[in-house]
Structure 1
Amino acid sequence: MRVQNKSSFGSARLFSSSSVFLPCPLELKRFSETEPQRRRARLPHHRARSFPHQRRGLSRASAFELWSILACVDSILCPLFCEQCAFGGCGRVDKQKTMILSGLLFPALWGLALGGSPSVQIGGLFPRGADQEYSAFRIGMVQFGTAEFRLTPHIDNLEVANSFAITNCFCSQFSRGVYAIFGFYDKKSVNTITSFCETLHVSFITPSFPADGLNQFVLQMRPDIKGPLISLVEYYKWEKFAYLYDSDRGLSTLQAVLDTAAERKWQVTAINVGNLKDEWKDEAYRSLFQDLENKKERRVILDCEQDKVKDIMEQVITIGRHVKGYHYIIANFGFVDGDLSKIQYGGANVSGFQIVDFDDPLVAKFDQRWEALEEKEYPGADSRIRYTSALTYDAVQVMTEAFRFLHKQRIDISRRGNNGDCLANPAVPWAQGVEIERALKQVRVDGLTGNIQFDQYGRRVNYTVNVMELKNSGPVKIGYWNEVDKMVVTKSDLFPNDTMGMENKTVVVTTILEAPYVMLKKNAELFTDNERYEGYCVDLAAEIAKHCGFKYQLRIVADGKYGARDAETKIWNGMVGELVYGKADIAVAPLTITLVREEVIDFSKPFMSLGISIMIKKPQKSKPGVFSFLDPLAYEIWMCIVFAYIGVSVVLFLVSRFSPYEWHTEEFEDGQLGPSESTNEFGIFNSLWFSLGAFMQQGCDISPRSLSGRIVGGVWWFFTLIIISSYTANLAAFLTVERMVSPIESAEDLAKQTEIAYGTLDAGSTKEFFRRSKIALFDKMWQYMKSAEPSVFVKNTVEGVLRVRKSKGKYAYLLESTMNEYIEQRKPCDTMKVGGNLDSKGYGIATPKGSALRNAVNLAVLKLNEQGLLDKLKNKWWYDKGECGSGGGDKECNINTQ
């Protein structure tokens, strides 16, 4: 006797030698309620025929008496072997003895309750972790139970990749006398199972991938995906693509694609991703897609199950391959089973197939019952049913219908005394196995996966699958495929851009606290929602909403960043990340339009033009000193004047010495006697004095007498005339204008020095500009910035401005010119913009790729620009409220986001 471990399948208690469902006393109490609503609330999936007393004509009282007996058995035996009993089974794991004894008594009581209905033994091979599939199997057993016979399952939970375990469990179930086996396989065990089935004539019903070759006794619940996949590739007119396949699923689909590629002259790159180790798979996926990018392979087919598709898509998002220009086809039947929310707004096309149509009334009815189940009792019921679970549910229905047919035809398929041994040599096949195989293939019913019908080889035929595409609103059906019509497109508008219904939707507007674009009002706590904010972008968002006709809610970006992609993980942060990953509908902020951002989001026309500029601390005013009179002229000029003064004096001295006209004899006064002497008034000191007096425009009591001396003096006078006039003019300007000396005047000045550090915002377009620039000057600046210690990058503009103000002129901040001009007019008025703009760009309003808001927002921006409202808003928030100029206000409004 095998006891199913409770940890694998919730509170179910299973017995390989008897019926599997043994309720606890509390369950029996609830089951015996006479109110129909209580019964439906407990087991919403039951039909009326599912109750034992309704099957065999027992009275309600008799049936409840039998159930009470079962309750007594469990309530008596359970306390003997465990310490406590809770709802859905005992609270302790050590219950094996209780379940064994209950299992011995349960078949007799269950047969009595059913009035001796024949038992059809069904085997079950479930892989570990298939909780939801097993829950669907259990519900199918209850849902499709009949009065003619009862299905008795024998369940083994095992590792399907272990051929020894498969062999052991298969043989064990065959020796018990099972009529058919339901289960799963993979590439390692498929040959073992098909071989046993062919040899022993035991039918095997499976939702696993269709096995290669012709297997008479294997019933494939899962349709073949080759036809839909090739039709979809032809519909998209792909001629070059990559095909990523999981070797666990077989190679028949790949072979069909390659055969078609040879006929159509497609270029297919086939890559096996099924043998990657878990510890290396993430890095391997990233490396794989990087290689595909180098080869310009942007169309990819993923022939894998959903768990592997999820792993691959996570790495696709990580390296930024989920943006516009990429197209992925998921080659399985569970397109809506996986979580595609992260890739939903990236811009990439994602297509696939869905075999469970949740709009179908039959599926919708089942879905309601499924949602009402308790997750503790039915593991996996807390999430939408997967396509493999739906195939499992349908498989129970197929088996039920087949055995009902055999029962009506009164065909003897009993195995009393003929359980057999699968390892016998020679093998003895079961004689009635062919009858069951034929009955199974003749079944034709409507299930959760649509029309269920098989051909002579046990393969699904006449089935229909929906063709899906991922839109901003989620997965959308664009058509269907069947064997007769092939690919039929029912919705050709793949990327709608209308704004219908937008007036009833509240649009999430992401923005960033950055003066003067978005600021908190004083006493913001007194306001709610959008009323708490003010600024240029707040007014702009209101105008955009007015023109587009939608309601909106402002939301500050959580990480306080504009948006950049991490170089290693390739994940976007900031406002761009919120748009890419679907957390916001639109971004109204000073968001620069760049190429890398345009690849993942859409921008409107620029609402403001700007460029990168340099902000430095405003130099201190020069204080007057002893030699301040020298300031009107450069020090070089003063040095030239000194040398000219000395030179003219020496020349005048020499000229006077050699000219006879400068020599004269002194005459004595009357009464004085002595020899007469010749003298020269222009000695070296008199020459210096003459030049100085002429320079000062004061003159002296001597003058040159010779022609040569007068020429030298005239030239000197003319020189002094020009110098004094220039000095006087510059002196007047210096007396009326305060002079400030700036150490930096351009980007070239920054690049050629190391005393003054300079940096940018850590995550923004300015940093990206320098990182990608090929201009030698900007590349030199980038090399300095990325290697500087401590880091010259700042988290936000507020931090950058504070660093400029506190660095005492030793730090320059590179930012957009509009913000630079605004801060320059804010108190304490100690920053200034120097030089011209380093580039030219614009701010735009951003929306996710393919958003319905894009066109409406773009037209609104153009209209506001034509009306001149954008200029009015800039004048309002930049100059009308300036605090450092003539139009400054009287209140202090520093750059502070707190």
Structure 2
Amino acid sequence: FWVSAILSLSLSLSLSLSLSLSPLQLRAAAQIFLLSVLSFPVCSQFSKGVYAIIGLYDRKTVNMLMSFCGALHVCFVTPSFPIETANQFVIQLRPELQDALVGVIEHYGWNKFVYMYSSDSGLSVLQKVLDTAAEKNWLVTSVNVESMTGDSFLKVFKDLDKWKEGNIIIDCETERLTGILKEIVEQGKNAKSFHYILANLGFLDIDLTDLRKGGANITGFQLVNNSEPSVSRIVQQWMEFDNKDSKMPKTGLKYMGALTYDGVKVMSTAFQYLRRQRIDISRRGNAGECLANPPAPWGQGIDIQRALQQVQIDGLTGHIQFNEKGRRTNYTVSVMELAPSGPKKVGYWNEDEKYVSTASLSRVNNDTHGLLNRTYIVTTILESPYVMQKKNHELLVGNDKYEGYIVELAAEIAKHVGYQYKLKIVSDGKYGAKDPETQKWNGMVGELVYDKADLAVAPLTITLVREEVIDFSKPFMSLGISIMIKKPTKSKPGVFSFLDPLAYEIWMCIVFAYIGVSVVLFLVSRFSPYEWHAEDYEEGQSPEQTNEFGIFNSLWFSLGAFMQQGCDISPRLVDLSPENAYTLCAVWCRVAVYVLCG
């Protein structure tokens, strides 16, 4: 394309200068280099006496090209992605997109989204988005898609389902972006619940037909205004030039071609200015020779650099103007959306006004008015008494073949809204479910998702999974299904119902503990001298020592303590030694309190 631009601009330039000066022509010299042998072809171009270079770079070659141009003072005009550089000899034709993208994100009110990017277009846009996210507390999940395969994309899309994320930004060059959009369609992620923003300046250069079928929301940016008469004229000239070579496929003007054309026009304008000012830019000696030792910078290169930065023209990509760093300024980018009828402009962004929405209610009214000029496909399912075939349906055609509640409801809706429709019975006879293996929808939901029908009127249950891919209206019927529980009958408590609060194992442990405590209390009382005392005796009789804690009294005391009841006997408190019966009784009473409280 840039060869065609040079031919047309060279002709006009020669005619404009031939009256007062000798004719000036732009000569095209194209060369394709390999990355491994980049230095020699670049140096050979410098040795041929070039005044400026227009070309592309990638992230692997950009530093080397910048180094050559900065050392030799030769300007490099490029439509490639913008970069941060202090090299004044780099003229960047492509406008920066990060501020426009942030403006659109703020317009939609996104505070949580996924950012898919590829480093082949630079990382300046991603860095701007992340910086803004840190300031405004956005939750951004970044995914590098540069080396992803089909399986990797499948994993990413599964993660999107897990995160329940439907807002996605894709920042890639057009070639890689086309492949990603193809994967999105294959995985069924082009439903209405998804909203994609394409961080690319060629929205009209991308085939979005399959995405439109799924109903996904697509927003993007357009640099070239194809409705301008000047743009249409240049495109027509380009197509005529393309027709001369039958071996090349006919393609429309893409934004990279428009940037290249504008780059040639910028160079043409700059050299025209230098000739009019009679500034001598001829090459002398070995100036600009990178093979010289040491390399000799070109003294007149600074004059060309200043002339290029001072250019202000209107090109295919709008107003072209550069700042002191060689970057585009004072430009306007159109914001596009994918409507059912095709791409439409919904706003624009520039440095002064920021994002301005041009969408109006009139457009919505026009879309609603279009209902009258189209027959909509309404999918439904045979289910008595909602939709049934009439007895003589073989003799009838169209919607007259069916009867039932849904048939009458669809007719009333069409009458109220005012549109034409056609009933279509779902082909597989299913309501709609998602296949866990293929991740595809079937039934009526599938026909809506894959754009086989425009509307579904059926006894379709509203579920969370279905709401993620299609929109539901208010339900026209509630079935009133509820859970019926039989009233429990009162039963007389059993003899051992008092054991219900605790498990039988617990009761067995309590019984064994009760017996054990009673036996230990009996033994301790036997060996403890404090539990023996003399009974009353008459004179002349010897005193008899007795112990109140016999085996039966020990059992009775333990039972009374457990039941928190009183007892006529109790151990004597002399000290708190372990062999004292009082200590044992205190521990047992504490255990009884714990059991009753639990």
- Smaller-chain TM-score bracket: 0.5 to 0.7
Match of 1:236 among 101, 104, 108: 108
> Is residue 116–residue 143 contact of structure 2 (8 Å, CA) maintained in 1?
yes
Q: 2:85 — aligned with what?
A: 213
Matches of 1:311 and 1:479, distance apart in 2: 27
Match of 2:467 among 583, 598, 607: 598
> Is residue 78–residue 91 contact of structure 2 (8 Å, CA) maintained in 1?
yes
Query: Deviations for 1:700-758, whole angstroms, at most 9, x for unmatched residues?
Result: xxxxxxxxxxxxxxxxxxxxxxxxxxxxxxxxxxxxxxxxxxxxxxxxxxxxxxxxxxx
> Is residue 331–residue 353 contact of structure 1 (8 Å, CA) maintained in 2?
yes
Q: Partner amino acid for 1:168? A: F
Structure 1 residues 270 and 456, CA, compared in 2 at 3 Å: closer, same or farther? same
> Is residue 433–residue 445 contact of structure 2 (8 Å, CA) maintained in 1?
yes
1:488 and 2:353 are equivalent in the alignment: no
- Percent of counterpart pairs with the same letter? 50
> Is residue 345–residue 579 contact of structure 1 (8 Å, CA) maintained in 2?
no
Structure 1 residues 472 and 268, CA, compared in 2 at 3 Å: closer, same or farther? same
Q: 1:474 — aligned with what?
A: 342
Structure 1 residues 501 and 532, CA, compared in 2 at 3 Å: closer, same or farther? closer
Q: 2:333 — aligned with what?
A: 465
> Is residue 347–residue 601 contact of structure 1 (8 Å, CA) maintained in 2?
no
Alignment of 1:263-662 (within 5 A): 263-274=135-146, 276=147, 281-344=149-212, 346=214, 348-370=216-238, 374=242, 377=245, 382-415=250-283, 421-491=289-359, 496=364, 500-502=368-370, 504-509=372-377, 511=379, 517=388, 531=398, 534-536=401-403, 544-552=413-421, 563-573=432-442, 575-587=444-456, 593-604=462-473
Return the offset for 1:413: 2.4
Return the offset for 1:460: 0.3
Matches of 1:174 and 1:430, distance apart in 2: 10
Return the offset for 1:540: 6.4
Query: Deviations for 1:792-851, whole angstroms, at most 9, x for unmatched residues?
Result: xxxxxxxxxxxxxxxxxxxxxxxxxxxxxxxxxxxxxxxxxxxxxxxxxxxxxxxxxxxx
Return the offset for 1:193: 0.8
Matches of 2:179 and 2:75, distance apart in 1: 35
Matches of 1:345 and 1:392, distance apart in 2: 33
> Is residue 287–residue 297 contact of structure 2 (8 Å, CA) maintained in 1?
no
Structure 1 residues 461 and 548, CA, compared in 2 at 3 Å: closer, same or farther? same
1:258 and 2:130 are equivalent in the alignment: yes
1:163 and 2:31 are equivalent in the alignment: no
The CA RMSD over aligned residues, in Å, is 3.7
Return the offset for 1:206: 0.9
Matches of 1:461 and 1:214, distance apart in 2: 17
> Is residue 203–residue 219 contact of structure 1 (8 Å, CA) maintained in 2?
yes
Q: Partner amino acid for 2:27? A: T
Return the offset for 1:611: 12
Matches of 1:375 and 1:569, distance apart in 2: 45
Return the offset for 1:223: 0.8
Q: How many residue pairs align between the two structures? A: 466
- Structure 1: state its 5+ residue gaps: 1-134, 613-898
TM-score (norm 1): 0.47
Query: Deviations for 1:270-301, whole angstroms, at most 9, x for unmatched residues?
Result: 33322x1xxx5222122224334434544333
Return the offset for 1:465: 0.7
Q: Does the residue aligned with 2:294 lie in a helix, a strand or coil?
A: coil
Q: Partner amino acid for 1:445? A: I
Moved more, 515-524 or 358-367: 515-524
Structure 1 residues 165 and 492, CA, compared in 2 at 3 Å: closer, same or farther? farther
> Is residue 193–residue 469 contact of structure 2 (8 Å, CA) maintained in 1?
no
Moved more, 509-518 or 340-349: 509-518
Q: 1:769 — aligned with what?
A: none
Structure 1 residues 318 and 495, CA, compared in 2 at 3 Å: closer, same or farther? farther
Q: 1:197 — aligned with what?
A: 69
Structure 1 residues 547 and 230, CA, compared in 2 at 3 Å: closer, same or farther? closer
> Is residue 73–residue 288 contact of structure 2 (8 Å, CA) maintained in 1?
no
> Is residue 520–residue 532 contact of structure 1 (8 Å, CA) maintained in 2?
no
> Is residue 351–residue 468 contact of structure 1 (8 Å, CA) maintained in 2?
yes
Matches of 1:401 and 1:149, distance apart in 2: 12
1:152 and 2:24 are equivalent in the alignment: no
Matches of 2:182 and 2:437, distance apart in 1: 14
Q: 2:20 — aligned with what?
A: none
Structure 1 residues 223 and 607, CA, compared in 2 at 3 Å: closer, same or farther? same
TM-score (norm 2): 0.68
Alignment of 1:17-32 (within 5 A): none
> Is residue 394–residue 448 contact of structure 1 (8 Å, CA) maintained in 2?
yes
Structure 1 residues 200 and 523, CA, compared in 2 at 3 Å: closer, same or farther? same
Return the offset for 1:380: 7.8
Q: Does the residue aligned with 1:501 lie in a helix, a strand or coil?
A: helix
Q: Partner amino acid for 2:204? A: V
